[in-house]
Structure 1
Amino acid sequence: MLKQCLVAALLGCAAPAAARPDAGYWKRALSFTNGTKPCGLSDEAPVVKAPKVNPWSSITPDDVRAVHKFIHDPATGLNLTAVANATLTDNYLYFIDTLNTNKSEILPYIDGAAALPPKYARVVIFEGGKEEPVSQEYMVGPLPFSDKTTISKYDYVFNGGKGGEVPYAGRYFDSKRSAAVQPLLKKSMTDVADITVALFDGAYLGSSNNGTNLTAASTTPTSLDGKTSQITYMFRYPGLASYMTPIDLYLILQVTGTDASKYSLKGYVTNERFFATAAELRAAFDAGQLKSEFPQTRDQKWALLDLQPEMGIRDLEDRAAPQSIEIGGKRYKLDKDEEYVEYMGWSFYMAFTRTLGLQFYDIKFKGERVLYELTLQEAAAQYAGFQPKAAGTVYHDTYYSFGTYSATLVEGFDCPFGSTMLNATFPEGDQTEVHPSAICVFESDDGFPLARHRTSGGSSDYGFQNIGAVKGSALHTRTIATVGNYDYLFDYAFHVDGSLEIQVRASGYLQSSPYYKDQGKFGSRISQGTQGSFHDHVLTFKADFDIVDSTNSLEVTDLIVVNQTQPWYAELGTFEQMEYNVTNMETEQQFDWKANGQAMYCVVNNNKTNAWGEKRGYRLVPGRSNIHLSIKDSPFTRKSSTFLKSHLAVTKQHDAEVYANSWQNVQLSEAPQHDFAKFFDGESVDDEDLVVWFNLGMHHFTRAEDVPVTLYTEAVSSIVFAPQNFNDRAQEGDLRNRRWIVPDADTGVLGYDDYGISLPTCDLQLEEPTLKIEPWTHI
């Protein structure tokens, strides 16, 4: 009988600075008492040696420093100013990242005897010193740095016509641009400060003025075509839950160009009215036409994710909640240096970039490749509302360097106790930033058997002949990125049956609006003066399938209804029947899941069959809330967000078609730097190296239960890649974690075979660790 594991109160905490962030690991310090077996919590994952050096790994801290020094050398001709000293009219570095290595270069290495491909750095420079200022991407390599290292424009992956160049108006709105806008923002709000105090008990007098008691928040896009820029500010009460305390005031400024003296006021918005000047706003105020009908509260306690004693305590909630632990010890193997994992037939490499975060490559099951690449491409949101902030808000979170927001996980809550915790590392300036314990790896019980069956009938008087039950489990790799107000949880589950599940959840604060009694069609009222703004979340992923090899097809099995007769049912005449209609998609296209699920989509290898002559493949199985963007022709997403507008897409793989999106595209709706629509040029996807692009997400119908934050239970979307004739039988027969139960024919006593896997016993007592918050580390 399994002894109960006694777990003392244990909280996750921020890790101490890692000495070698390139190794990617930090071990939680635990103190075990009485010398008892710690139920698997203290186990290190067994070590395995990766077959090859990881060709997708990040550039090293030494590489980052060398690249930074190289691009600032006057000999390069870039004429860079140090970021700390730069202004809008200078050339300065925005970021360094790891450049994607072409698949055509990696396959001869990973599958053959070719040399490890050299690595390159991706460098973004804001070139304000040019006659026509732009943002330009470069590639620097080969690395490690040598006399062969050069710099060239990183153009070939962008198809918008200007390569890696983005016009100044469409470039990232960084701190330099924000500082240039600050004087006009300050003046425009100071001019009406008496009005804002009277209406909202608050004023914005500049970011550094002690009298300022409102927070100014802007959004994207600030340009649609890269030719002109305008920025919209909304105002909120400051505090930990500022997102939940907006006031009914908006300011729109025209901010085109690098000469801040030419910036101008477009207008103010309040009470659902537009005022082009401060004088117009004042006239309406003096006439008594403006009011704050539903005053916002400065008290934000109601919106904090903290215990609310006034709600009472549920019965038995004084007991610790159930916990998931790897009770038999870790059953996955790790190569820490190469970020390589093996688990129950699965193997894969991991990588991390500041732009896209966690990535997976060379995913194999039982030694055969299923996927070459599985990567997040974009996390987008588009809002709705009858005011300029909500109506004009579209977020592409790669714009903010998505990976840089993957932060420390709380062990036992974000991930189970005893998880393997990994660091996230990425370049920041001339250093490498370390976010400790930002990724976790753990095995979990699926919560249901992988398979089971009770065989009944026969001569037994006990109602059945046997019961077979197989344990369901999966290896999870998880990270959470908090980008502004939302905490996106990404979970990749490698199941023991050979299926792979990708799941996304969203929590965090709503981007809220002030409540208007006549605008309920844009969201629910969630507090005294706050409305939750309705919006779409759409997250785009790239799945480069290589089912056994790179010659694949997308097979569509339509479930169709036909009228037919059958001679043995002559009395029925003609009746409806279901049958398959199986075809392969011929050319690249975007498409949606069929209504009622009446189509099966499988990536198959036409030239590889299982023992029964069936084409080997993997099925795309829609999970919960598989959506695409609701709006097809918004001016804010017209051409820059094509990838968001269908459930699925399939293209032929090309080294130049690496990304669905450009991280700066959100500012270029009418003239995108990278146009996903151009991928669809009639190329064949039958017996080709193909890529499936898929969207997960949710229509966020806001509700009172989004207070204080949106709950992960409901805000979830998923997809499963499941073997479809990839094997000769279900992948369960070689799993020993099972029971085969047979009753004695005479006595009915149950006998069972545990195949040598008995239930372990353990007794665990843990000391509560000292809680210490460590800052992110730079090396």
Structure 2
Amino acid sequence: MFSTAKKHWVLISASAAFVFLVITPTLPFIQQVNTSLASPKDHAETNFRAPKLNVWADLTATEAEEVVKFLFENTNLNLTPSSLATSHENQILLIEVLQPNKSDALNYLVGSYTAPDRWARVAIVQSATEEALIVNYKVGPLPVKKATEILALDFCYNSGRNYVPNPLAHQAELQVWALSMIMNISDITQALLGNEVDIFDPNGLTAGGRISFMEKHIMIMWMYFALSNPTGGTSTLLPQGLYAKIGRTTSFSRTISVKLIFLADASTRNSSNWKVLQWYYNNVLYDTADDLWKAINTPGFKKAPVNSDGRWTETVDFSHGHGDRSKPPPIMVQPTGARYHVDEEEKYVSWMGFEFYMRTSSDAGVALHDIKFNGDSVIYELGLQEALAHYAGDDPMQGGLEFMDTSFYMGRLMFELVPGYDCPAYATFLSTSYHFGENTVVNNNSICIFEHTADYPIQRHSSNTRVSVSRNTYLVVRFVSTVWNYDYTFDYIFYLDGTIEVKVRASGFIFAAFWTGNEVNEDEYGFRIHDALASSMHDHVLNFKADMDVAGTENTMVRLGVESITMEYPWDDDRIKPRNTMHLVHYPVEKETGLNWTRNSGEMFIVMNQNKTNEWGEKRGYRIQPGSGIGSPTHLTILNSTALGKSALWASQDLWVLKRKDTEPRSASSLNFLDPLDPLVDFSKFVDDEDIVQDDLVVYFNLGMHHVPHSGDIPNTLMHTSSSSVMFTPFNFHDRDPSRLTSQGVQLDIKPKGAKPRYFGETYQKGVNLEKTDLEPDLTQFGGSSGN
């Protein structure tokens, strides 16, 4: 039966890659979810204030309520409240702040200009028309007043449109149709899967679908069947090897110019337009269910094994375990309070020379703005753009499966963090809020900020008479987005020398394939990992934007090559001339382009300001390099993906250096998944051969990995085996290492009778008294509810 667990997946399920069908009494696109949570101990100062307003901050609940009222007063929109709307009516999808142009924001931050006007981005689900669409508008200026207006939001989409077709506007009808279809083939499912699978049992059979856009206006969906596990969420480990191909033609016009929705009669969306085109079971295609049923009843028919649930899918083991498990592990404490400062109202953070603003978006989570170090500008904007997973396999599901995770609204899926586990108990926890439909969704404690000391020093050196060593402390801004089967942990990490690291780790249940025992393609796409389960190879590619402002807005990207060379030096003996050695070669990147990490790290990518030098006359810069993940970040293996179309062309190379434009604020749109062949944002149009020497540069870079799951990924993928990061490291940016003024450590002068320690930075002079909650937080109130 269709699972009723996690009902908030209903909207997200209408993706170009995947549809997870759930039967729910709520509206077909959104169910309002409020996760009001217990607040851990607050360590932030109450009197610390940001120097300016956070001009990137999302709308307040009051601002969103005013916009909702304004929209409903506009009768041309023909809106129905989300709680009452059907798939034949118009409703509000989401409301969030529209980011100001960079020039306006900088004028305010560095000058005497007033803050830029605030505008809202509004997405409307338009279903009360023959052609169902999702349409973007901008509403402003805010707060709502006589001058406030609603306009088409299209300047930020290089398609020139402010809408995408919505091929699954009638999702509720499709869900009912699919449920009926499953019930009508109960004889087949019971014959293949056994009587233990009851389609009326919420823990029984569930179904999901992979949508493919074959060409303009034509799409098909392969539906797969799996066992459901509403409490454990393990259905992606429990495919049953039965697939149905469903088809329907659409008729979306490309000539529509949507500026404002006017009153219109809803056309009938008839579920009879859908039909099962083929069935696939155990490597055999069948044209009809009758053909499959006849084959089942034919002597010699080979049934595949049933992929049964059991303890093997449980993520924890509450048995005794290893003997030393009874002892709690070491933990970090913060006895004297936080050394960072947070203005929670403005989401502004200061730590050891770093300062920056935070914002959240419904689709991409936390981004940072106006990052400075010791007063110098480094990065104007740093944030996630899109998270892609692309699979390969020898069944109809894995063979074309791909996810565009911002279509799941990753910001909205930033749930409560577990103190003492996701983040140290002493961390500062912040809430986030989003505006879906007419309601504000609050996720408390969904961001944590903490300082941490690494298990290795930032600097050390020993000599015959002296040892010096410095503790390596760093600041972390962390959030976790749970996108169905995967939990992505995102970190922005700040180091004492001015380095900034962006890191992602993944854990959760893999989207596994059914194991048929087909020896022809054995281990071609993965490995057998359970009785009737195979791993499924896939690429993770997560795209980030870094709007570089290294010592100002005029920057140049330089490829600094480390190259071999044969040279003759006058001091060399004739017997060893010429000498084989190496040298540095500077290659300024003069045009917009894409780059890949070079073999043997043979080039360094440095963004530098040609007009700003340090004390030694060297151009100030920041190097961009792979960070501390399990390997160099990857790009997509598949070129010209038939599943992705033009929706994710940023994934074809490791990083891109481009000229910044207000009309290109994002490398992707969360609505690209609905129209991959003609997406709202086509990244290929960003790279148009413009000159970029000493210009305002944006670097789009990818994190990710080629994930080939193995038996160790059962039941969960482990974070230390699935991490990826990129670092931005000062390169001649300073006159010398600035961490000397902020690191803490000891210098030991070695004497005949022992060492004489000299400490730099304060030390603990006495013991500390800790409460139990400093060591193990009270989690009994985790997930506790309160009002919006």
TM-score over 0.5 for the pair = yes
Q: Is the contact made by 2:468 and 2:745 (CA closer than 8 Å) also made in structure 1?
A: yes
Give 1:734 deviation, angstroms.
1.3
Give distance in 2, aligned partners of 1:376 and 1:593: 20
Q: Is the contact made by 2:38 and 2:781 (CA closer than 8 Å) also made in structure 1?
A: no
- Post-superposition CA distance 1:282-320 (Å, at most 9, x none): 222222464333321133x211112153xx622311111
Give distance in 1, aligned partners of 2:760 and 2:134: 63
1:535 aligns with 2:538: yes
Give distance in 2, aligned partners of 1:212 and 1:488: 26
- Post-superposition CA distance 1:337-383 (Å, at most 9, x none): 11100000000000111111111000000011100000100111001
Aligned to 2:772: 766
Aligned to 1:277: 288
Q: How does 1:65-464 map to 2 (within 5 A)?
A: 65-75=65-75, 77-161=76-160, 163-169=161-167, 173=168, 177-201=170-194, 209=200, 213-219=204-210, 221-223=211-213, 227-239=217-229, 240=232, 241-257=234-250, 258-288=269-299, 290-299=301-310, 301-307=311-317, 309=319, 313-455=321-463, 464=464
Aligned residues: 723
The change in CA–CA distance for 1:630 and 1:308 in structure 2 (over 3 A counts) is farther
- Post-superposition CA distance 1:487-529 (Å, at most 9, x none): 0000111111110111100000011111122242111222111
Aligned to 1:605: 609
Aligned to 1:662: 669
Give distance in 2, aligned partners of 1:188 and 1:351: 45
- The residue type paired with residue 730 of structure 1 is D
- The residue type paired with residue 556 of structure 2 is S
Give distance in 2, aligned partners of 1:632 and 1:483: 25
- The residue type paired with residue 443 of structure 2 is H
The change in CA–CA distance for 1:69 and 1:256 in structure 2 (over 3 A counts) is farther
Q: How does 1:461-540 map to 2 (within 5 A)?
A: 464-518=464-518, 519-540=522-543
Q: Is the contact made by 1:432 and 1:778 (CA closer than 8 Å) also made in structure 2?
A: no
Give distance in 2, aligned partners of 1:223 and 1:775: 42
Give distance in 2, aligned partners of 1:735 and 1:369: 19
Q: Is the contact made by 1:534 and 1:700 (CA closer than 8 Å) also made in structure 2?
A: yes
Q: How does 1:613-652 map to 2 (within 5 A)?
A: 613-623=617-627, 624=629, 625=631, 626-652=633-659
- Post-superposition CA distance 1:416-435 (Å, at most 9, x none): 11111111211122222111
Aligned to 2:260: none
Of residues 558, 573, 578 in structure 2, which corresponds to 1:574? 578
Q: Is the contact made by 2:91 and 2:437 (CA closer than 8 Å) also made in structure 1?
A: no
The secondary structure found in structure 1 opposite 2:63 is helix
- The residue type paired with residue 63 of structure 2 is D
Give 1:276 deviation, angstroms.
2.2
1:550 aligns with 2:558: no
**Root mean square deviation, CA, Å:** 2.2
The secondary structure found in structure 1 opposite 2:174 is helix
Aligned to 1:4: none
- The residue type paired with residue 314 of structure 2 is L
- The residue type paired with residue 315 of structure 2 is L
Give distance in 1, aligned partners of 2:755 and 2:47: 40
Give distance in 2, aligned partners of 1:210 and 1:307: 26
Larger CA deviation: 85-94 vs 615-624:
85-94
Aligned to 1:39: none
Give 1:101 deviation, angstroms.
1.7
Aligned to 2:748: 741
Give distance in 2, aligned partners of 1:216 and 1:559: 53
Aligned to 2:762: 757
The secondary structure found in structure 2 opposite 1:110 is helix
Aligned to 1:5: none
The secondary structure found in structure 1 opposite 2:292 is helix
The change in CA–CA distance for 1:736 and 1:232 in structure 2 (over 3 A counts) is closer
The change in CA–CA distance for 1:621 and 1:739 in structure 2 (over 3 A counts) is same
Q: Is the contact made by 2:37 and 2:783 (CA closer than 8 Å) also made in structure 1?
A: no
Give distance in 1, aligned partners of 2:289 and 2:636: 37
Give distance in 2, aligned partners of 1:468 and 1:749: 15
Q: Is the contact made by 1:632 and 1:638 (CA closer than 8 Å) also made in structure 2?
A: no
Give 1:134 deviation, angstroms.
1.9
Give 1:691 deviation, angstroms.
0.2
The secondary structure found in structure 2 opposite 1:85 is coil
The secondary structure found in structure 2 opposite 1:567 is coil
Q: Identical aligned pairs, as a percentage?
A: 31
Aligned to 1:726: 733
Of residues 686, 697, 701 in structure 1, which corresponds to 2:704? 697
Give distance in 1, aligned partners of 2:397 and 2:152: 36
Give distance in 2, aligned partners of 1:73 and 1:205: 48
Aligned to 2:4: none
Give distance in 1, aligned partners of 2:419 and 2:226: 33
The change in CA–CA distance for 1:202 and 1:401 in structure 2 (over 3 A counts) is farther
Structure 2 gaps of 5+ residues are 1-35, 251-268
The change in CA–CA distance for 1:632 and 1:409 in structure 2 (over 3 A counts) is same
Give distance in 2, aligned partners of 1:756 and 1:509: 45
Q: With structure 1 as the length reference, what TM-score do the two structures score?
A: 0.89
Aligned to 1:9: none
Give distance in 1, aligned partners of 2:400 and 2:360: 32
The change in CA–CA distance for 1:574 and 1:385 in structure 2 (over 3 A counts) is same
The secondary structure found in structure 2 opposite 1:720 is strand
Give distance in 1, aligned partners of 2:410 and 2:157: 19
The secondary structure found in structure 1 opposite 2:236 is helix
The change in CA–CA distance for 1:188 and 1:435 in structure 2 (over 3 A counts) is same
Aligned to 2:26: none
Give distance in 1, aligned partners of 2:157 and 2:196: 44
Give 1:26 deviation, angstroms.
7.1
Give distance in 2, aligned partners of 1:259 and 1:590: 46
Give distance in 1, aligned partners of 2:374 and 2:120: 34
The change in CA–CA distance for 1:447 and 1:620 in structure 2 (over 3 A counts) is same
Give distance in 1, aligned partners of 2:279 and 2:93: 32
Give distance in 2, aligned partners of 1:190 and 1:290: 23
Give distance in 2, aligned partners of 1:677 and 1:429: 33
- The residue type paired with residue 528 of structure 1 is D
Give 1:205 deviation, angstroms.
8.8
- The residue type paired with residue 157 of structure 2 is F
Larger CA deviation: 768-777 vs 80-89:
768-777
Q: Is the contact made by 2:166 and 2:674 (CA closer than 8 Å) also made in structure 1?
A: no
- Post-superposition CA distance 1:22-54 (Å, at most 9, x none): xx997425xxxxxxxxxxxx7444742111011
Give distance in 2, aligned partners of 1:610 and 1:278: 74
- Post-superposition CA distance 1:417-461 (Å, at most 9, x none): 111111121112222211111111000002211111113xxxxxx
Give distance in 2, aligned partners of 1:279 and 1:244: 29
Give distance in 1, aligned partners of 2:312 and 2:663: 50
The change in CA–CA distance for 1:634 and 1:359 in structure 2 (over 3 A counts) is same
Q: Is the contact made by 2:70 and 2:144 (CA closer than 8 Å) also made in structure 1?
A: no
Give 1:109 deviation, angstroms.
0.6
Give distance in 2, aligned partners of 1:340 and 1:108: 19
Give distance in 2, aligned partners of 1:559 and 1:354: 42
- Post-superposition CA distance 1:451-491 (Å, at most 9, x none): 11113xxxxxxxx1211212211010101110010000001
Q: Is the contact made by 1:244 and 1:510 (CA closer than 8 Å) also made in structure 2?
A: yes
Q: Is the contact made by 1:214 and 1:235 (CA closer than 8 Å) also made in structure 2?
A: yes
Give 1:141 deviation, angstroms.
1.2
Give 1:90 deviation, angstroms.
2.2
